Amino acid sequence: MDFLDKKILLLRKKIRLLGNALVAYSGGVDSTLVLKIAADELGEKCAAVTSVSASYPQYELDSAKEIARGIGARHIFADTTEICDPGYVKNFSDRFYFCKKNLYGHMKEIAKQNGMTNLLNGANKDDEGDHRPGMIAADEFKVVSPLRDAGITKKEIVEIARRLGLPNWNKPASPCLASRIPYGSKVTDRKLEMIEKAEFAIKNICNETGLRHLRVRHYGKEARIEVPKENFKDILGNIEKIRTELVAAGFKNVTLDLEGFKSGKLNKGLNEGRKGTK
């Protein structure tokens, strides 16, 4: 038994002792691992809750449904209403707080309806030092973070998920579509729709190129494509097809970010975002 096996046993014990679990489940590897362990340990006393809103792409929802079925977990869908919250719409650096507050509020009601008392999320040990306003909402709703509590890091999550045979063990992080909108620029249904259509189109066009990391940043009329530098050739080799699709999605100009893909890049503009723009 290695150190990771010991962490897995600790994770199982922590979740088993809860007695029941309603898991905030996005289909990403972190929440999938929590759901898998909860389903193993708690059976029918476990369920997944997935937010359904304009900020969550349909293709991600379809994938999450398939994975939850494979795990054998009950899957509940919450029509969240964060787009109606002014705090979310104004899109300052605390946007994620309002998003998670809305989700956990829905989960609290779902828990009551199903006789459950514990809300769980997929936060891990590495999240402690990052910009995570959503964790404030988690604390307010007393959400349990079993991965963090077991001291499991992101790298360890990937390896545990691989060992358990989870189909998305190596899936890249895919934050909500609102994260493509610069801080201070308002979040609207139309912007989210444009981003979803643009990213879906590029993924289809570059389907056979091995493109794993993609963001289409929304800068008004400009779509700024962000991919790793090794994938520049895939974008440039299909640029006319991509431009046609992105113009059809509502953008006027299409550009490629020459700095390359970097997760959380827009966090560099936190100070500017707090000032707000139209």
CATH code (residue 74): 3.40.50.620
* 192 CB-near residues (< 8 Å, 6+ apart): 54, 55, 177, 178
Taking CA atoms, 75 is separated from 26, 56, 80, 176, 197, in Å, by 11, 16, 15, 19, 26
| pTM confidence score | 0.92
Residue that is last in its domain, among 163, 195, 218: 163
Residue 156 counted as domain residue: yes
In a domain, 169, yes or no: no
**Can you tell me the distance from the alpha carbon of 195 to that of 175, in angstroms, rounded to the nearest whole number?**
13
Indicate if 231 and 93 belong to the same structural domain: no
The token pair at 143 is 């959400």
Which residue, of 133, 163, 193, is where some domain finishes? 163
Residue-range definition of the domain harbouring residue 216: 177-275
Kindly give the confidence (pLDDT) of every residue in the chain, 278 residues in length, as a single tens digit, with 9 standing for 90 and above.
Answer: 799 999 999 999 999 999 999 999 999 999 999 999 999 999 999 999 999 999 999 999 999 999 999 999 999 999 999 999 999 999 999 999 999 999 999 999 999 999 999 999 999 999 886 668 899 999 999 999 999 999 999 999 999 999 999 999 999 988 999 999 999 999 999 999 999 999 999 999 998 888 999 999 999 999 999 999 999 999 999 999 999 999 999 999 999 999 999 877 677 655 444 444 33
Q: Does one domain contain both 186 and 157?
A: no
Q: 113, 128, 163 — which closes off a domain?
A: 163
62 and 147 part of one domain = yes
Count of structural domains within the chain: 2
Neighbouring residues of 56: CB distance < 8 A, sequence distance ≥ 6 = 26, 50, 176, 177
Report d(CA 173, CA 30) in Å as an integer.
Answer: 9
Q: Which residue has the tokens 């900020």?
A: 55
